Structure 1
Amino acid sequence: MRRQYITNIGLLFAIGILSSVLVLPVSTVEGRVNQNKCISMYEKYKELGEQKFREKYKYKSDLHDCIKLYKNPDWYFVGKSKIDKNFEKIQSGFKNNNAKIDIKVTSTTLLGKEKYLVKFQACSEKSIQRPSFLIESKLEWFIAESGKSMQAGKCQSYHTQINSKDTAQIKIQYVSDLTEFTNIKYRKI
């Protein structure tokens, strides 16, 4: 009986030590917010930027607490650094692979609420096998890969669909190095 009592006390003591080690002090925001919800919304926050994110998700109960977490340099979750690196690369620009590519949107057609069919033309000084383009708007962005080659000195027409509030927000850029965009959606065009 005495031995079982000592074992139980030892077990309680061990649990007390482990729980004090495992329970790390967190700020009041991190303690009361559902961090899983914030983690799932983090990529949208990066895509939209703070202002647009606030407008789009203004009715979410944890919105302000999540934004406080996003701004905290010590806040981290598995996968956060990959998301951050992807957005840094997009913001810093693209390598052109020394080929001059002129891209012109030739038409946009409204297909439904905030959905457009975009037709564009890309002209190149050099031949390019399977060119890729970053298609972006405030609502969506993705890499569009073409199966059509671009011939030197000629223009090639392409089309794709994108979600956007209006046509002025739609941007298209040539991407020469796809290794920089490993965590972004890909579509065939």
Structure 2
Amino acid sequence: MMNKLFLVIPLLLVLTLGVSFTYAESIIPGWIKNTALWYGQDKISEKEYLESLRYLINNKILFLDEAEKNTVLDPTITSNEVSVTKPRINQCSTLYQSYKNIGKAQFIAKYEHVNYINICVKLYQDPIWNYQGGDRLEQLNAKFIEFEQKAKESKPKLSYEPSVKILSTTKIGEGKYDVKFNVCAGDKKIDKAKVLVKSAIESIQVGTNKDIPENVCRTYVTQLHANNVANIQITILEQVLE
């Protein structure tokens, strides 16, 4: 346990006091803060903990001195098994032993903070992972990009249509209400629109007097006679999209 304290304390000093280190402009990722805690609790191995520190230093998130901070280099991580200049491939390589040790489901849950962890798993399961040619890095990176593109294409493409929504109905007289509502544009800007505000006893057309940019709502108020506010409805009659 004492040895672990010697390993954990430097990172805690870095994260709290900045002792002996300087930082890149970006903030240290949140997941690295948990690593010291996990190591102290025997949830990750010493190798995994040290690799996380090496990741910060070699990817220029954390610098040993100011001179190094001003030197622009390709990000790289070196381990006993791999030394590459592709950060995402390198991260997959660094985590591979953990994948073998704990299995797919637990691995994905453990490293969900890595937003491309599922693509790492696809690489592990593909024959390309065992390829040992001199261009292995390039082959792995090409396959990574292929998997990434397929993942993007497989996501459902949502179509956002213009919509209206009643925000409030305020009684201003016997059977008469102020109706406050939003008209919202979808994927395209609405240049002009007409909406129908109606109840069981009255219908009123309301025209928008301003353009509504895409994915933006504008609020309108109109007066309407109604016997029951539950019967008040609003629909889009006409719209000109750009």
Structure 2 length-normalised TM: 0.31
For the pair shown, which has the larger CA radius of gyration, 1 or 2? 2
Q: Flag the structure with more relative contact order, 1 or 2, with Cα contacts below 8 A and sequence separation at least 6.
A: 1
